[in-house]
Amino acid sequence: MNQPPSITALVTRRRFLGHAAAGAAALTFAVRGRAQAQPKKLGWCFVGLGDYATKVLVPSIEMSEHCWVTGVVTGSPDKGRLWAKAFRFPETSAYSYDTMARIADNKDIDIVYVVTPNALHCEHVIAAAKAGKHVVCEKPFTTNVPDAERALAACKAAKVKLSIGYRMHFDPYHDELRRLAREREFGDFTLVKGGFSFVMRQKVWRAERKLAGGGPLMDLGIYFLQSACMASNGVPPVAVTAKEGPKTRPDLFADVEETIDWTMEFASGLRGEGSTSYQKNLNQVRAEAPRGYIEIRTAYSYNGQTGGTSKGELHFPTPISQQARQMDDFARCVREDRESPVSGEMGLRDLKIIEAIYASAAQDGKRVVVKA
Ligand code: NAD
């Protein structure tokens, strides 16, 4: 096994999140020391060891207070052995997708974190629930409403807790957006505008309907959709309209949208104007009310946001890992036997909104009622 380069990669990832880099030996020492000193951390099993799990969730779980990796599900036995060594769990706790059901017998695994491509979320959430494990599922919850309903029902039937990996609920700037919506300091928000986009340069599963369920709306637009629902104090829109933009690279985006712009009409009078694309860069949100506004720049980045309100710039202590906060919060939900505020129902709600947006785009921008 080629351990040193991968451990170095883990160290690089720590630097990526703004933490002091440490040497490979130091990481090994830290892993060993922490695992022994805090045996009561809840055990997490990551399903899908791709970019997000390895580059972002690994350094985040190291920063968490209540969480540790005690197992993985992967298609690569080499990755499984590497993770087992790095986190000091037995190699028998590295499962394949075919043997995932066996986590039911693993007492060290409390929580399963599903980090596979979108279209696989449903079957992996159901497998985790059937194994009696609490589940966090990455966004989007699934790729369609019926799958989300099935996954939610499986978690309820198994009496396990479920949360969606909406990390912006653990971002202090979005905390402020939600506080302003709740306390109405500037009055009710009337307009929320923004979006999330990046330029996709090569074909990956995110641009394939079969695995992604859609294009940038499923992957990135869902972030603004979340912000807009925060501005409406959690109440979903009553109706949407949407228009798909022209495809500048139809070879990359054969069966998904490349760009989509949409509006959201809320019962309160709030209007949302969102945009998402794989051919431009956009990363911001602004919500306006009669007596003030909030604006978040680089709104959806993992860290390094800036932003302010009509009263002045906002400053929060840094660095804060959204993902460490997210995992710790879910661990506390499990310990204290309470439901996550970032619920499976919220994941289902968002898929209903997304399906309405796609339905409107398919009908050239016709107003479509959201049945959320
Ligand atoms: P990735 O392609 O880097 O990793 C996906 C992993 O799933 C890989 O290890 C791959 O081997 C595995 N896999 C299992 N079965 C597969 C199959 N049939 N086809 C392809 N891959 C398969 O993707 P990622 O960026 O890690 O994204 C994974 C999930 O995490 C997605 O749902 C994505 O939306 C979500 N994500 C969330 C955030 C966030 O900020 N919350 C950020 C990035 C990704």
pLDDT at 319: 65
Q: What is the side-by-side order of every strand in the sheet holding 306-309?
A: 312-313, 306-309, 292-297, 282-289, 191-197, 271-277, 259-265, 239-244, 368-369
363 C-alpha to ligand 1 centroid (Å):
31
Which one from 41, 133, 139, 161 is the annotated catalytic residue?
A: 139
Closest-CA residue, ligand 1 atom 9, reads 50
pLDDT in tens, 100-117: 999 999 999 999 999 999
Q: Which of 97, 95, 162 is nearest to 125 (CA)?
A: 162
CA 38 to chain centre: 27
Active-site residue, 300 included: no
Q: Is 66 helix (H, G, I), strand (E, B) or coil?
A: coil
Could you give the CA distance from residue 42 to residue 110 in angstroms, rounded to a whole number? 6
Please choose from 16, 46, 49, 51 the residue to mutate so as to test ligand 1's pocket, defined by most ligand atoms within 8 A of CB.
51
The residue count of the chain comes to 372
131 C-alpha to ligand 1 centroid (Å):
22
- Both tokens of residue 40? 């009561």
pLDDT at 9: 56
Q: Which domains does the chain have, with CATH numbers?
A: 3-167 (3.40.50.720), 171-317+344-369 (3.30.360.10)
Only one residue has tokens 């596979």, namely 116
Q: Report in angstroms the alpha-carbon separations of 118 from 80, 123, 164, 235.
A: 21, 10, 12, 25
**Average pLDDT of adjacent 10-residue blocks, the chain of 372 residues:** 40 36 32 49 98 97 96 98 97 98 98 98 98 98 98 98 98 97 98 98 96 98 98 98 97 97 98 98 98 97 93 86 96 97 98 98 98 88
The reply to whether ligand 1 has any atom less than 6 angstroms from the CB of 206 is no
61 C-alpha to ligand 1 centroid (Å):
17
